[in-house]
Amino acid sequence: MSAQTATKVETATAVPRILGERAPKVTARNVDIYYGEKHAIKSLSVDIPDRAVSAFIGPSGCGKSTFLRSINRMNDTIPSCRVTGDIKVDNKDIYARDLDVVHLRARVGMVFQKPNPFPKSIYENVAYGPRIHGTASGKADMDDIVERSLRRASLWDEVKDRLNSPGTGLSGGQQQRLCIARAIAVNPEVILMDEPCSALDPIATARIEELIDELKQNYCIVIVTHSMQQAARVSQLTAFFHLGILVEVGDTDDIFTKPKDKRTQDYITGRFG
């Protein structure tokens, strides 16, 4: 830790250093999320930095996916789910009545636990989003978007000779990178990843982690993970959830070396969860 950042911590009122350096991309204030009677997220407030990786950790069922999905309104697809409070991206209310949800989901992309390429060619998987959103100005432009997205997802070299083969024919790790390329193709600003490596072997996991590390130069990335090592390796901010409550959030180094809350301490040292 540099002398400069150390001073910042002392003066700040528990604002993580990573946030002290930049405006938050996503802010949540007093967010409650219910599934019918079930109160899954309780009065949650958090700031999520841009151009950095934030990790959500915590035991199964504590609400990580629920909160993650609320950031691009994927919860809208669950009829019993109700979200109250404020969630803003770039200081704009994403639950505003006149907000276009399709547009929001292009800005706030999502990568799921199980790689889920469409039953289409590799090319079409990546071209799908730009086509719906009309962002390509012709075939050459679309080819360019597809190539660029696959390169950024560090998959291009492996698939450039078989762009017309089905995406489902790739290995699990390649499929997950294809899903990342698909998310990137529409030029998102935020990428939400819900346990993106849990179906992958250690080598494929390492590649995705490298990729996440590169992508953070350009995107706000939020990753849910059950792996403490992964959170420590890839994230700069860590948020620990327990029973629907955001117990503690801070710079990843601090959360893993000097957590303030006993529940965080117990979780990261493997005492529960």
Ligand X SMILES: Nc1ncnc2c1ncn2[C@@H]1O[C@H](COP(=O)(O)OP(=O)(O)OP(=O)(O)O)[C@@H](O)[C@H]1O
Q: Which residues contact ligand X by CB under 6 A?
A: 35, 38, 40, 58, 60-66, 78, 80
Contact between 239 and 46 (Cβ < 8 Å): yes
Q: How far is the CB of 180 from ligand X (least distance, A)?
A: 20
Distance CA 184, CA 60 (A): 28
Question: Which of ligand X, Mg ion, none interacts with 155 (beta carbon under 5 to 8 A by kind)?
Answer: none
Kindly indicate which of the ranges 62-70, 97-105, 118-126, 209-217 contains the residues binding Mg ion, using the contact rule CB under 5 A.
Answer: 62-70
Instruction: Give the binding-site size for Mg ion (rule: CB under 5 A).
Output: 1
Site for Mg ion in 64-123 (CB under 5 A): 65
Distance CA 74, CA 58 (A): 21
Q: How far is the CB of 162 from ligand X (least distance, A)?
A: 34
DSSP state of 121: B
Q: Which is nearer to ligand X, 63 or 173 (CB)?
A: 63
Q: How far is the CB of 217 from ligand X (least distance, A)?
A: 27
Backbone angles phi, psi at 104, to 5 degrees: -55, -45
Q: How far is the CB of 139 from Mg ion (least distance, A)?
A: 39
Q: End-to-end distance of the chain based on CA atoms, in angstroms?
A: 30
Q: How far is the CB of 130 from Mg ion (least distance, A)?
A: 29
Question: Which of Mg ion, ligand X, none interacts with 38 (beta carbon under 5 to 8 A by kind)?
Answer: ligand X
Question: Which of ligand X, Mg ion, none interacts with 49 (beta carbon under 5 to 8 A by kind)?
Answer: none
- Which are the contacts of 188, defined by CB distance < 8 A and separation ≥ 6? 106, 107, 108, 109, 219
Laid out side by side, the sheet with 81-89 consists of: 38-49, 24-35, 81-89, 92-93
* Residues near Mg ion, by CB under 5 A: 65
